Copies of this chain bind each other. A is one copy, B any other.
Amino acid sequence: MKQVKTFAEYMNDETRVMPAEKEKINFEIDLIGKMIEAREEKGLSQRQLAELSGVKQPAIARLESMRSTPQIDTLFKILNPLGYTISIVPLSSENKAAGQ
């Protein structure tokens, strides 16, 4: 009953039902890695990056130690002076991390 046609397919396709958490964790690991690497590569301290990005040092420290998940605004503010941004990509092409 019920007009659950194509919907049922998605509900039964377990490969799509809940791996969002895994995605998020992978993303955060990638994020933290690139953040720290880029920051140190540029010889910036957390306080200096705080000035450049407009995000306070405690917030940066919390992110780098994975004690919080950044909001999108914060993410762009921090990534920008580090030379990164984020973009939306199809899952099929499985995060092509090694950019460039």
B80→A19 contact, CB < 8 A: yes
Copies per complex of this chain: 2
Q: Does A34 contact B (CB under 8 A)?
A: yes
Residues in B neighbouring A79, C-beta threshold 8 A = 20, 23, 88, 91
A43→B81 contact, CB < 8 A: no
Q: What is the number of residues of chain A that contact chain B, defined by CB distance less than 8 Å?
A: 55
The 0/1 profile, CB within 8 Å of B marked 1, for residues 62-100 of chain A is 000000011111011101110111111111110111011
Residues in B neighbouring A90, C-beta threshold 8 A = 83-85, 99-100
Give the 8 A-B residue pairs with the shortest CB-CB distance, closest first. A20-B80, A20-B76, A20-B77, A87-B95, A24-B76, A23-B76, A83-B91, A6-B43
